[in-house]
Structure 1
Amino acid sequence: MPAADLPEIEWDDLRYFLNLAREKSLSGAARALGTTQPTMSRRLELFEKKLGAVLFQRKPSGLELTETGRKILDHAGNMEEAALAAQRIATGSNAGISGTVRVTSAEWIGARILSPLLARFCTIHPGMGVELVTDAEVLSLTRREVDIAVRFTRFQQDGLVQRKIGSLPFALYAAPDYLERRGLPDFKRGGANAVLVAMNAALAETVAETKWLRQHFPNAHIAFRSNSRDGQAAAAASGAGLVCLPTRLAAGYRELRAITTPTPLPSRDVWLGFHRDTRAIPRVRSIVDFLAEHAHQFR
């Protein structure tokens, strides 16, 4: 087909297409883009008509890419990365240490460690603003949902710069009320007398200290689960059971007592990541350097 006869594809067409491919539903893509489901349906219909091809199959489980849709997806993703790279460079190339930087982390580390540190940073750089997002959902650095992320696992996406900034020790804790009722855990009997506070089952396989609990307390009863570290700590402080916690977090709960264990609990490495295209942006680099300088807070 001559170039003049090819359909003219706009970036907005691909942006809607990418979100539909990621969310696999009209409603999910609409939420991600801040629009409505009818608008998403209309945009998809117009894009498919423009291309003269069907991009998605409508199934009970959601939208599924057709073969044509799968072929377009890789090219659309490359275009998105190029557009975001240009935006990152343009928004930061002429900026000094001013503006707003978005940082994301787990809830407890954001509240207990990052918030005091970033507050101090803001007093040093009054022209700066920091937005801290603590959420169970992993926000994307490559899609510029955030500028800096602090996580407990290495970053897997291409184009990111990462560094290990700490390793947080964990220990086993219980409240005096629990110890009076149940006594110290019997490690030789696999914790047959123990009641536990643990991570949600959906997250347990990815959490090292939960594996430690299963190994040492195969006969214990799990009374309370939560994906919130502070939720676990509060439950244990109220006498719900034994709990594995970062020592930094447990120090904030006076009711908790550390318990000697036959083997030490695994520590969790802390990783800081940001996109390589933002490394020269002063406002981003200044926070990265500040957090690296205060890496002792993450130990």
Structure 2
Amino acid sequence: MQGANVSRKPPGLPAIEWDDLRYFLTLAREKSLSGAARSLGTTQPTMSRRLELFEKKLGAVLFQRRPSGLELTDTGRQILDYAGRMEDAALAAERIATGSSAGLSGTIRVTSAEWLGARVLSPLLAEFCTLHPEMNIELVTDTEALSLTRRETDIAVRFGRFEQEGLMQRKIGSLPFGLYAAPGYLKAKGLPDFRQRGAGATVIAMNAALAESVAETKWLRHHLAHAHIAFRSNSRDGQAAAAVAGAGLVCLPARLAGAYPQLRAIETPAPVPSRDVWLGFHRDTRGIPRVRGVVDFLAERTRRLR
């Protein structure tokens, strides 16, 4: 009987609210108080107090504190499933309610990779804002993909198809890539010897964590397998700047390389793989005029993206 009293909700505590579940879900996803605090724009002590109060309301421990971070208990895992479903329902209701707004006005958040947002999307979105002065566009460029299903963003532009359920998507273009180098590098090292798979050459590549998912990095490993990797970066502009400084050969989108006139295109025995560009948005937002307006505008303007 004593064990049964441990899980009983203490009397006099307020009822569970949606904010309790929102804080709990963020903690489960971030696996740390500090990470959850950053995500919600609050402080670590506040997150700790909110968790303590929620556990008191439930009369149960939801997380074990480990050196690696917060780990859900069995009870926490069960609650996570229900809380996730409640979040989906709440966000769906919010999307439907937002859909009643008429006209091209209001705020839309768009997310993409850094260089794609800066070099391709920013000029187009600026044009859209000029055409529709009541609109407010927020472009978020980040290596961490924001979630369409959790409404962290309204529209996402990414390389490759979207895998989440409940999303609508369309291919809006394909970006060719090429191999480039600065004249100073070519004077010092010469053209790469593809028959020797790049022996004696130096190359610039993506960070190791991204290498397996990036097609042009696989191309580099195959055609220039004996080259020395002199520099790595997850920033395309960072790679381009390193190539301009003479660090080595680099695979870049032709659209980005064109912004660096110091770079020279290198003829290759096989084309560097191009990357398909996909636009995604949540199915529940397809009837919202401002979402539809931005989606259709970007799809039309990028239809022949290259």
TM-score with structure 2 length normalisation? Answer: 0.93
Correspondence 1:92 to 2:85 = no
Report the Cα offset of residue 278 of structure 1: 0.8
2:29 aligns with 22
Mark the runs of 5 or more structure 2 residues left unpaired by the alignment. 1-10
Q: Which residue of 2 aligns with 1:36?
A: 43
**Candidates 168, 171, 176, aligned match of 1:164:** 171
Alpha-carbon distance in 1 for matches of 2:101, 2:262:
51
Whole-angstrom distance in 2 between the partners of 1:45 and 1:291: 46
Q: Tell whether the 8 Å contact from 1:57 to 1:65 is kept in structure 2 after alignment.
A: yes
- Where does 1:10-159 land on structure 2 (aligned, <5 Å)? 10-159=17-166
How far the C-alpha of 1:105 sits from its partner, in A, is: 0.7
Q: Is the contact between residue 103 and residue 146 of structure 1 (CA under 8 Å) also seen in structure 2?
A: yes
CA RMSD for the aligned pairs? 1.5
Corresponding position of 2:234: 227
Q: After superposition, what is the alpha-carbon deviation per residue over 1:120-158, rounded to whole angstroms, capped at 9, x for unaligned?
A: 111111111111111112111112111111001221222
Gaps of 5+ in 1: none
**CA distance in structure 1 between the aligned counterparts of 2:169 and 2:183, rounded to whole angstroms:** 41
* SS of 1:296 mapped into structure 2: coil
**Structure 1 outlier segments of 4+, above 3 Å:** none
Tell whether the 8 Å contact from 1:172 to 1:244 is kept in structure 2 after alignment: yes
Q: How many residues align?
A: 295
SS of residue in 2 equivalent to 1:120: helix
1:259-296 Cα shifts (integer Å, max 9, x gaps): 11111111111010111111110001000000111123
**What corresponds to 1:249 in structure 2?**
256
Alignment partners' CA distance in 1, 2:139 and 2:23: 27
Q: Is the 8 A contact 1:113 1:297 kept in 2?
A: no
Q: Say which of 260, 267, 283 aligns to 1:260.
A: 267
User: CA deviation digits over 1:42-75, x for unaligned, max 9?
Assistant: 2212211221211111111111111111111111
Could you tell me whether the CA contact under 8 Å between 2:176 and 2:273 is conserved in 1?
A: yes
Q: Is the 8 A contact 2:117 2:139 kept in 1?
A: yes
Distance in 2 between residues matched to 1:23 and 1:252, nearest whole Å: 37
Whether contact under 8 Å (2:161, 2:278) holds in the other structure is: yes
Matched letter for residue 44 of structure 2: Q
CA contact (8 A) 1:113 1:298 kept: no
Quote how far apart the aligned CAs of 1:22 are: 0.7
One of 179, 183, 189 as aligned partner of 2:186: 179
Give the CA deviation at 1:8: 3.5
AA partner of residue 204 (structure 2):
V
Q: Is 180-189 or 91-100 further displaced after alignment?
A: 91-100
CA offset digits 1:22-58 (Å, max 9, x no partner): 1111121122112222222222122112212111111
Question: Structure 1 vs Structure 2: percent identity of aligned residues?
Answer: 79
One of 268, 271, 279 as aligned partner of 1:272: 279
Q: Deviations over 1:171-194 (max 9, x none)?
A: 111111111111110011110121
Mapped partners of 1:177, 1:39: distance in 2: 54
